[in-house]
A and B are shown apart, each in its own frame.
Chain A
């Protein structure tokens, strides 16, 4: 493998992680969706480049799925949903802490994944090691986004970016079998999520951190009080 081959792969994987970091501080949903689309596009490039390097034709299919499905179709659907839910103008406040703190946590997570993965994968090929490290960083950043956002759409984008990291890891691991099957299975999962979002008009995530809210969701408070139209399901009763 030439230096050039390696540098391109390294740059693409790094760009994927940068996109994840950029998502952390986006306050508008449109911008968030656009960055997700950019990340999915970068993913398809990264996977296609792996296909070239590994001489693995099945990875082209994975790259194509990433391009058509994740970089085009999903962002398009999300744009549509955001308008339908009338949350496209909303400015999202991140729960509890400021954006700065979250960025710091994000950077700490990146440092952690580099430290852990580069050591753990010391015996594998250089390229694979770095792909795994970047992938772990993307995964953790996606998770961070899922736990810090209140809005269901941005929470889901967190999951989608997490999943981009997984595909990067799987594509970077040389000769991984079932790549096509796995990316199709994941696409079905993602499609389910987006369709669910659309059908049930879920605006806010279910806050599993807030204990009082949890009691509400468990239906246990309803013994004494009649809950009147909680915001989490929007105006679901009227529209379905």
Chain B
């Protein structure tokens, strides 16, 4: 029974992928996609109540259950959004039925890869899972087959492959460092076997391993030196894919870094991973904040905003301590929900207006009130205005940064202000003023967007005590 619970969140997407690859009718297959995602969410919720035993391959603990539930939840709401998005793409002839079969099947493969990366207890298997998720998203990004989309997919592919290669080298080094202590074979790659002995691992090898792991998985998380794939991939792929990339895949990569951080922090002889993460996160956030200004493409702008948030989150985990870890976790969840809500809205906006160029989108609140206000709300949330959830997490990050490393806090505040200015400036022009562009009504499903925004709003005002206790507990695990 308990073993089935874990395998369910892996088997459902796989079966669905096979089924969707065979189904020819797109309305039916988007339904199947939604149902499969809902079932996976159900299986994930079941994991909260029935925690399965730890095996060398699967592990469900207090840390990853948060991400599993978040992953399957956003996977589900995105599939609902995707259904209405895809219907429009079929009407306008951007996608053919054959490509759509491909799209749906790969969507489930991607969810499978991410779920596997989250539930696995094994650093080797995690690497394979992240690679699988990367490959499926590469194809999804390039699915429109325009020259721009192919370029974006190719760039993502090459940079992602280098990241993946680095991550594998790091993983090999961790195993090499652990082998003399833990012993040969599968045990040398199992979290739960590695963690108790981490203090005895060879520190010199571990130092090099962490650099490769941070660079490798950091590429996938969009951290600074290797982030160049991210804006292109977000802008040129279908919008549901952008939502999942920002909302989930970046989180999965960060989750991998966090797991390794726990492992490395447990060894007192290793260079502490925290400061390295804090610096890389800060540089990423500052860089992305200023890159937000000269944007012309709406999806590209929000992609830079995702880079900025990944920077802030990495920074928060980097400075560490109970408060900052709590803030980082909260921000991961809030960013994931808010950013995917924004992309839901942006997807319909660009379909209704027939363009992604911000200069050609004006007066949204007048021409498409629900969409326009949804976008405004999402933006207000993402720039960290009170009383929404992101405000709380950013406030906590900044206050703990001031308490621990004040010199780091100042550039962070600057970055937040710069990002605030840039996004508000662009959004203000799009949302208000005289209407420009098409005014034809959009047949969008607003439910996923507003459900996400409602959760973000409620979290900003009131977090249930049980959730606080849970997050505090996880923050302690993160050290």
The reply on B223 being an interface residue by CB < 8 A is no
Cα of A232 to Cα of B161 in the assembled complex, Å:
20
The answer to whether B147 and A237 touch across the interface, beta carbons within 8 angstroms, is yes
B176 contacts across to A, CB distance below 8 A:
121, 124, 128, 132, 173
A198 CB within 8 Å of chain B: no
B138 and A192 within 8 A (CB): yes
Contact A166 B169 (CB under 8 A): yes
CB distance from B40 to the nearest CB of A (A): 23
Q: Is A159 an interface residue (CB 8 A)?
A: yes
Is B165 within 8 A of A218, CB to CB? no
Q: Are A139 and B185 in contact (CB under 8 A)?
A: no
Per the 8 Å Cβ criterion, residues 423-475 of B in contact with A are none
Q: Do A174 and B168 contact each other (CB < 8 Å), given the known contacts A192-B157, A218-B300, A237-B147? A: no
* Complex CA–CA separation, A173 to B205 (angstroms): 13
How far in angstroms is the closest Cβ of chain A from B212? 9
Interface centre among B148, B152, B236 (most CB of A within 10 A): B148
CA A166 to CA B168, docked complex, whole Å: 7
- Measured CA separation A181–B126 after assembly (Å): 12
Q: Is B202 an interface residue (CB 8 A)?
A: yes
B45 within 8 A of A: no
What 9 A-B pairs come out closest when comparing CB atoms?
Answer: A175-B184, A120-B204, A178-B124, A233-B147, A177-B186, A173-B176, A220-B296, A185-B128, A200-B150
Find the B residue at minimum CB distance from A142: B165
Min CB gap B282→A, angstroms: 22
Q: What bracket does the count of chain A residues touching chain B fall in?
A: 35 or more
Q: Which residues of chain A from 156 to 201 have a CB within 8 Å of any chain B CB?
A: 156, 159, 162-163, 166, 169-170, 173-178, 181-182, 185, 188-189, 192-193, 196, 200
Among candidates B124, B173, B294, residue contacting A132 with C-beta atoms closer than 8 Å: B173
- Is B228 at the interface (CB under 8 A from chain A)? yes
Please state if B208 and A120 are interface contacts (CB–CB under 8 Å). yes
- In the complex, the answer to whether B162 meets A173 with C-beta atoms within 8 Å is no
Whether A155 sits at the interface, judged by CB under 8 Å, is yes
Given A155-B158, A174-B184: A217 in contact with B232 (beta carbons within 8 A): yes
Contacts A178-B122, A192-B157 given; 20 further ones with Cβ under 8 A? A128-B176, A156-B158, A166-B165, A170-B168, A173-B176, A175-B179, A175-B184, A175-B185, A175-B188, A176-B172, A177-B189, A185-B132, A189-B131, A217-B155, A218-B232, A218-B235, A220-B294, A233-B151, A236-B147, A240-B145
CA distance A123 to B202 in the complex (A): 8
Interface pair A189/B164, CB less than 8 Å apart: yes
Given the complex of chains A and B, what is the CA–CA distance between A189 and B172 in angstroms? 18
Does chain A have a CB within 8 A of B103? no
Tell me the nearest residue of chain B to A230, going by C-beta: B147
Task: Please classify the interface of chain B as helix (H, G, I), strand (E, B), loop, or mixed, using the class held by over half of its residues.
Answer: helix
Would A159 and B158 count as touching, CB distance under 8 A? yes
**Residues of chain A with a CB closer than 8 A to B188's CB:** 175-177
Residue of A nearest to B124 (CB): A178
Q: Is A117 an interface residue (CB 8 A)?
A: yes
B55 CB → nearest A CB, Å: 15
Max chain A Cβ within 10 angstroms of own Cβ: one of B138, B169, B180: B169
Verify if B88 is at the interface (C-beta below 8 Å from A).
no
Interface size class of B (residues with CB under 8 A): 35 or more
Q: In the complex where A166-B165, A189-B135, A237-B147 touch, is A220 in contact with B232 (Cβ < 8 A)?
A: no
Give per-residue flags for A114-147: 1 if the beta carbon is below 8 A from chain B beta carbons, else 0: 0011011111100010001001100100010010
How distant is B436 from chain A, measured CB to nearest CB, in Å? 15
Q: Specify the chain A residue showing the minimal Cβ separation from B139.
A: A192
A182 x B169 contact (CB < 8 A): no
Which residues of A, 210-240, contact B by the 8 Å Cβ criterion? 214, 217-220, 223, 230, 232-233, 236-237, 240
Decide: B204 and A122 in contact? CB cutoff 8 A.
yes
Q: How far is the CA of A100 from the CA of B173 in the complex (A)?
A: 32
Nearest opposing residue in chain A for B357, CB measure: A223
CB pair B297–A182 under 8 Å, yes or no, is no
Docked Cα-Cα span, A122 to B202, in Å, equals: 9
Cross-chain contact B124 with A177 (CB below 8 angstroms):
yes
Q: Is B46 an interface residue (CB 8 A)?
A: no
Query: In the complex the two chains form, is B175's CB within 8 Å of A173's CB?
Result: yes
Asked if B144 CB lies within 8 Å of chain A CBs, one says no
Please judge, given known A-B contacts A166-B172, A208-B155, whether A173 and B202 are in contact too, CB under 8 Å. Answer: no
Q: In the complex, A170→B179 CA distance in Å?
A: 13
Q: Which residues of A contact B125 (CB under 8 A)?
A: 178
Using a CB-CB cutoff of 8 Å, which residues 180-211 of chain B contact chain A?
180, 184-186, 188-189, 202, 204-205, 207-208
Question: Which A residues are in CB contact (< 8 Å) with B157?
Answer: 192-193, 196
B296 A223 Cβ-Cβ under 8 A: yes
Q: Is A63 an interface residue (CB 8 A)?
A: no
Q: Are B154 and A196 in contact (CB under 8 A)?
A: yes
> What separation, in Å, do the CA atoms of A41 and B50 have in the docked complex?
50
A189–B148 Cα gap in the complex (Å)? 22
B266 to chain A, nearest CB (A): 19
Determine the distance from Cα of A185 to Cα of B125 in the docked complex, in whole angstroms. 11
Q: For B127, what are the chain A residues with a Cβ–Cβ distance below 8 Å?
A: 182, 185
Query: Is the CB–CB distance between A217 and B151 below 8 Å?
Result: yes
Q: Are A124 and B205 in contact, CB atoms less than 8 angstroms apart?
A: yes
B186 closest partner in A (C-beta): A177
Q: Is A206 an interface residue when CB atoms closer than 8 A count as contact?
A: yes
Whether B231 sits at the interface, judged by CB under 8 Å, is yes
Task: Give, as a whole number of angstroms, the nearest-CB distance from B13 to chain A.
Answer: 18
Q: Does B51 contact A (CB under 8 A)?
A: no
What B residues does A13 contact at CB under 8 A?
none
Tell me the minimal C-beta distance from B47 to chain A in angstroms: 25
